[in-house]
Amino acid sequence: MNPNQAHERYELKVIVNESDIDQLGHVGNIVYLRWVQEAAIAHWRAAATPTQQAELLWVVIRHEIDYKRSAVLGDEIVARTWVGEAKANLFERHTEILRAHDRKQLALARTMWCPINAQTGKPTRVGEDVRERFSVSSA
C-alpha cells in the first residue's frame, strides 16, 4: 500500500472455510468479528511505517456490528476497512464485510481502538505522523 493512500479504504480478501461454519450451516457471528479485527491489523501493517509499528500497539475497547446477510462455505469475502473519527487516544474504525462476487453487504461494524505505547503498555496519544498517514482529524 502506498503510504499516501493509507487513509483510503483497505480491503482484505478471505475465503470461508469449514471451521467458519456454525451449527446453522453459515458463518458464525464471531467469525465476522474476527474478520473485522484481521482487516484492521492488516491495514495497520500495510500502511504504518516500521517505526510506527514498533512504537504503537492497538487494543479494541468497543465493537458494534450489524449482521445483514449470511455467508456460506466457499464464499469469497472482502473485509473493507477505513479509519473514521480520531480523538486524543480513541480511533474509530469502520469495516464492511462484503461477498466478493456480488458486493452485497453481509455485515457492518464500527470499532473503537485505543493506541498503546509498545514500551509501557499504557494508552498513549499518537503523533501527527500517524494522523497524517491515516488522514484522520486531529481533534
How high is the pLDDT of residue 14? 97
**Where do runs of H (alpha helix) occur along the chain?**
29-47, 50-55, 128-134
- The mean pLDDT value for 2-17 works out to 78
| Band (139; pLDDT cuts 50, 70, 90) | very low
Query: Are 81 and 95 spatial neighbours (Cβ–Cβ below 8 Å)?
Result: yes
**pTM greater than the 0.75 cutoff:** yes
Give the mean pLDDT of 51-60.
95
- The count of domains in the chain is 1
Residue 139 maps to a domain? no
Question: Does residue 3 surpass a pLDDT of 70?
Answer: no
Instruction: Give a yes or no: residue 75 inside a domain.
Output: yes
pLDDT tens-digit map of 103-125 = 999 999 999 999 999 999 999 99
CATH of the domain at 46: 3.10.129.10
Q: In what order do the strands lie in the sheet with 56-67?
A: 10-15, 76-87, 90-99, 105-117, 56-67
Residue 136: predicted pLDDT:
53
State which residues form the domain around 27.
3-134
